[in-house]
Structure 1
């Protein structure tokens, strides 16, 4: 069989590219081997040797280029995979001046402040670059997170100058609205994990003599100040917002173009500069759009490398974290700038308006007022929040609006206070805009569940108030101020407080909390080796899913986990286990009251959720799709499909019908919001209703394996060649 056919076979059978065993991807493969020919992470049988000429050199460059098919799908010669191909030309050239100080010009790029709304209604204001040279629309990762945008798969790459590639994996549907008139536009934007551009403009520009702009309602009132770009609008969006009026300035002054977003400015602008000037060139080209392809793709992961920002975030944490006399960790907010501008945006007014809105909601919902007040009072009593001294109220600070999120499925606190660090001030900059997000430090949930199934005795728990157990450096506390009226009367004085811990709602909070947990394992792991390993391998954010081969080993592991976490002032709660002996060893107040534990991603139970039944020690599915409507669109179908949470592919045969149906809609040429005809609508409703049967599926959690060498291991020394691992019965 030719190498190409072998690759196709491996993909079709969901087999690891490295060890040729099913059940995991090459990224999760633990076999320390690689190709004997090229030493890359694939099996030698899958190596594809490229023909060479008689001199030993490779084929001509043109032969190695991807073939462009008639359908505009770029097919790589080696991998035969279709993907979105984005050509991006971005360069910055440093031009050294021969004169120390001189007057020069810069190219001013068109920007606008726009209101952006996600499909779920979350809204924020973003600074957008309007680029007619781009055939695609792009949004930054932090902006997509701030509006909690629903993600859809979109495998592809962006090719820049020098053939530098950047991967894209997701696309979102958003709505942008004008801040100057009644206008909104639905946009599909690709999510960029890296920053879209450097700050624009490259230098602050003086506008004192630009008389031709007087009286104009500008799309970006602060166009002349350096700021981040979180949204790029391409040629399609430009064509829908542009209007006829154009005002040309004198030489050295930009042109003004009227749009539905307000007047945008672009062209040359004179500045007084010293030293170097930066030239930015941007060009985006989208050759192919195929959002649904990844539903049928095999995930061939490669080891992820840290970006420069992520490396900076790691370095900052390592150099600045400390522990107080109690052993609690104290960390600094990881700013991406040395001079944060968010305190200059008068955020207190926005926070006050949001507080007044919240208080009006309290009048309609007295129970919410009671539970919300209890949470705030708990913050104060635990010294997680303190009142700002009167003589410090005038200091530079950022005020965070806050609101309630009520979770009826929670065992403990039903009401959570969420702080909106993405709320922009009058200068268009929010606290989250200036915080680094940090790298992902833990394994994905799929790997943790697979490892969890290897343990005969298993247990689960979570860390109580994990974020709030990590203190913020006192210097950064004023970046986390809040307003609160302690008494119920709206006529009482509003007081100023500041949060003293890692705050839920800030962009860096997940990283800081998880990094601190890992740092605790590093600092104290010498005395608690079992617990240190479990912290590195078996935590998903604050949720622990681990186990051992015997009850005695599990009891020792639990004791070590409790002891090591106490060193950092963390506490484990809501314990559950398949072993009665384990549960009896845990104080009753720390046990979970649930018989079924929901397995969640990012704290959210999916519409089709996976749960663990403690009594039977098995996994079950819970279907919770919203009732369907008579009007069905392709957007709604895809939305339902993306909600199905099946991390290990156990119900793939049930879901594949839905995937094939979506493929048919795509081939039929339905638009995103076009109503589906009656015959297809009936077929989709039947498929959707049939998914209710997955609730009858039960999967045993334990694989009848041991994780120690004294038991049965899945290798050639303990399993006969013709015997399948699933047929092995362990003797315990």
Structure 2
């Protein structure tokens, strides 16, 4: 509607031009209403300075409420990595936390806030709004969105190990951007491991971007250490961990050479539908994975043993012979304390405790001697999965071998998976 159409509609409904309620006129309205644009006494939809009320002929106005920042150009691209990582987002009272996926976008430039959180994320953690802002966004190609009110929040961000904590002021947005690629498998992972660089956003279970950090906070969280890999990717260290960005290298030379060789030599026409002859096969990194899988299988066959009671055991297949992983006792103990308090509050602590004691009686687990507690060791944090509808196992422990500390790998990162034998 134009400004005049809005006024006519309010007159027809016999409502106040200040609070938009019926039963009185604007001159007798006692409501405290202040326009955030011109600061006069009227609602923002009746402000003459409102862009939608002006409607200049030279301006292109688009309606969009989904991807609203410079990230829109990357939504369909799976060949370029952006700076993403995982962080822990904690509620205002500190009792509830979530691991979310974050992206750095230096193209997001707006004062005073260029940082965004998904509306659903802020709602789930019950963040109270600390204000509102009227925002219009300038997109690629010169398009400008219609302005709308955004709620403002103060987020409590933490690194996954809890060593770094920051409070950031952000605006809410229903959707930040489309799906962004995570770091795929490739030779760059081995190169990163050789430099003691470990990524958090590698096999993330939360693919959606829930937080965007723009230019105003970007400089304060970048440590300044940048490592350029042989493949051209760039690793950058931040307060919340390492990120990897750049164009993912494509290896297609082998396929092209194979097809050329096939067409230039004597060949059987039946080979045209042979996929391997056409070069449709795994890339180089997949071949190296096959070699690793073969080594893991041979390792299993060499080390598997069976005890007198019929139990099988096998030594752990360490990657590259590295069997030293960091001591994460503090992380495991912190998780244990948090989980215990939740079990007590939900009334399931005794059930969980009985399961652990029964394992000890059956010889599945044993108490670590006091003298060995100070030795270098790696701990598996565990949590309770509660399924009230299950009659047999309403509460069961689940162990987390993906737990990693700051700049250190998890147990899963240090072990070979081996071949998939399900088929």
Q: TM-score, normalised by structure 2?
A: 0.45
Highest relative contact order (Cα 8 Å, sep 6+), 1 or 2?
A: 2
Structure with bigger strand share is 1
